[in-house]
Structure 1
Amino acid sequence: MFDWLQNLSDWLIYSVFNIAQGTKLGDALNFFVYDAIKILILLFLITTVMGVVNSYFPVDKIRNYLSRNKLFGLEYLFASTFGSITPFCSCSSVPLFIGFVKGGIPLGVTFAFLITSPLVNEVAIAMFIGMFGLKATLIYVSSGILLGMIGGFILGKLNLEKYLSPWVQGVLANAKKEGDLEEEKLTFSKRLPSIFTEAFSIIKGVFWYIIIGIGIGAMMHGFIPTGFFEEYISKNNPFAVPIAVILGIPMYSNAAGVLPIIQVFVQKGIPIGTAIAFMMAVVGLSIPEATMLKKVMTWKLIAIFFGVVAICIIISGYVFNLIL
């Protein structure tokens, strides 16, 4: 889908700017141009789609349904499963996070989606099967969904709504004042202008957070060698899993992008659970992601979110090592 964009990035960096291919600077700039344009395109498409969904979908009914507390945890399963089948990275999930919160979906259920969405997707599953086999893939998918459910449940019980950013609080306040488009019975053509306006407003609000986050990720991508991590997460280190999670946090990539690195780790003798814990930290917890989430969460909420998810990832890494 984005082959044209990769070609454009290659042409711009290696031909127009005449930076040698394979150099650290060239790789970092190529990563930045490609990811920045791709993510902004995806953000607009996702935000627009969510605007359409929010304008038609009976959010009040879903909110009431999920708030009855009679689903025995199935609402977290639904949200995590939905997150696992959506091809969004953590930064692309931000508009969905806003849409869920704006629609009145409980924050814990929204977190369940936000946790799982970047960790598990169909591209990563296909690559995982080819690299590690069906058994490891099933455990990976199950652990990703379970991680989202547990993390969302814990975060939901902490009553963290007050730690949403003032910007999101303002969005929620405006939504209450404006009311539902559905109640106004507007035609689709009449809904579109307000949907596009809201989409551009969200993109404008998070633009610089995304650019800064991708810039940090590009620097990590281009200048941190793979061998740097192998030194600290070998199978002989009993603390390899938490160290892998800590080392993965400064990185930034999607699951498909980091899987080739994970394959190299496993081939060099690093336990698969440790390698997957590193991957989950890279994909689901990263400094660039924290920078992007700052637009919708306060630093305190980000710290709580990262802490809960990191603990869950560490536990799943040790369990993965025991099973496999």
Structure 2
Amino acid sequence: MFDWLQHFADWLIYSVFGIGTETHLGIALNFFIYDTIKILILLFVIVFIMGIVNTYFPIERLKNYLNRKKLYGLEYFFSSIFGAITPFCSCSSVPLFIGFVQGGIPLGVTFSFLITSPLVNEVAVAMFIGMFGLKATLIYVVSGILLGTIGGWLLSKFNLEPLLSDWVKQILDNNIQQAEFQEEKRTFYQRLPEITNSAWDIVKGVLLYVIIGISIGAAMHGYVPENFFNDYLGGGEWWTVPLAVIIAVPMYANAAGIVPVIEVFVAKGVPLGTAIAFMMATVGLSIPEATLLKKVMSLKLIAIIFGVVTLCIILSGFVFNILL
């Protein structure tokens, strides 16, 4: 989908600026240009689409459906499935999270999507099959979906709504006011300027956080030496799994981008389960993601989410090493 953007980033950094393709600076800047433009495009498109959904879709009916007890937790599973089939990284999943909250979807169900979306996508699945085989791929996909399901369910047991940022609360209040003062029926074209302006306002609200987050990720992507991880994660001791998760948190990459790195890890002796745990933490937990989430959540809520997901990933890593 974004091949043209990668070609543009390559042309701009390597041809126009003349920075070497193998240099740390070149790799970091290429990553920054590509991901910044991609995420801003996705950010506007997703928020715009959710604006249309919020305008026309019967959100109250959806809320009632997702809150019915007879679902027995399947709402978290369905949200995780949706997260798995959407090709978004952790940072580009944030705008859809905002849209979910805007739409009144229960917070725990929304977290299920937020957790699973960056962990599993079709490109990474295809690469996984070619590199590690069908068994490892199935374990990776199922575990990613279960991680989102269980994580969302656990987070739903806490009263986390008060920990959303004032910015999000204001968005929710505006939605309520708009619902109370419903205008006469208007055509889509009559509503389009309002939807577009609303989407642009949200993009402007998170723009600084996007740039800061991707800058951190680009620096990590370009300057952290790969051998650093192999030296510390290749022994197979019990503590390598939690260490892999802790080391991965400052990193930032999407699942498709990190899979080839994981293949190198495994080839150099890192257990596959440990490598997958590292990958999940890289794409599902990161300082750049926390930076973006700071716009929509308090630090306490971010810490709770990261703590729950970190624990789930560590447990998954141990299970991976047993099964693989």
SS in 2 for 1:231: helix
2:170 counterpart residue number? 170
CA distance change for structure 1 residues 184 and 71 in 2, over 3 Å: closer, same or farther?
farther
Using the size of structure 2 for normalisation, the TM-score is 0.97
Alignment of 1:168-247 (within 5 A): 168-179=168-179, 184-247=184-247
1:27 counterpart residue number? 27
Deviation of 1:266 after TM superposition, in Å, equals 1.1
SS in 2 for 1:209: helix
Coordinate RMSD, CA, aligned:
1.4
- Mapped pair 1:254 → 2:250: no
Deviations 1:204-224 (A, max 9, x none): 011010000000000001000
Q: Which moved more, 1:266-275 or 1:8-17?
A: 8-17
2:93 counterpart residue number? 93
Using the size of structure 1 for normalisation, the TM-score is 0.97
Deviation of 1:235 after TM superposition, in Å, equals 3.5
Alignment of 1:13-24 (within 5 A): 13-24=13-24
Q: How many equivalent residue pairs?
A: 324
- Name the CA distance, whole Å, in 1 between partners of 2:183 and 2:147: 37
Percent identity between the aligned chains?
68
- Name the CA distance, whole Å, in 1 between partners of 2:251 and 2:38: 18
- Mapped pair 1:282 → 2:282: yes
- Name the CA distance, whole Å, in 1 between partners of 2:16 and 2:264: 33
SS in 2 for 1:84: helix
- Name the CA distance, whole Å, in 2 between partners of 1:181 and 1:78: 32
CA distance change for structure 1 residues 129 and 182 in 2, over 3 Å: closer, same or farther?
farther
Alignment of 1:51-200 (within 5 A): 51-179=51-179, 184-200=184-200
> What one-letter code is carried by the residue in structure 1 that aligns with 2:157?
K
- For structure 2, which runs of at least 5 residues remain unmatched after alignment? none
Deviation of 1:185 after TM superposition, in Å, equals 3.0
- Name the CA distance, whole Å, in 2 between partners of 1:55 and 1:253: 33
- Name the CA distance, whole Å, in 1 between partners of 2:124 and 2:19: 31
> What one-letter code is carried by the residue in structure 1 that aligns with 2:302?
I
> What one-letter code is carried by the residue in structure 2 that aligns with 1:157?
K
- For structure 1, which runs of at least 5 residues remain unmatched after alignment? none
Deviation of 1:69 after TM superposition, in Å, equals 2.2
SS in 2 for 1:208: helix
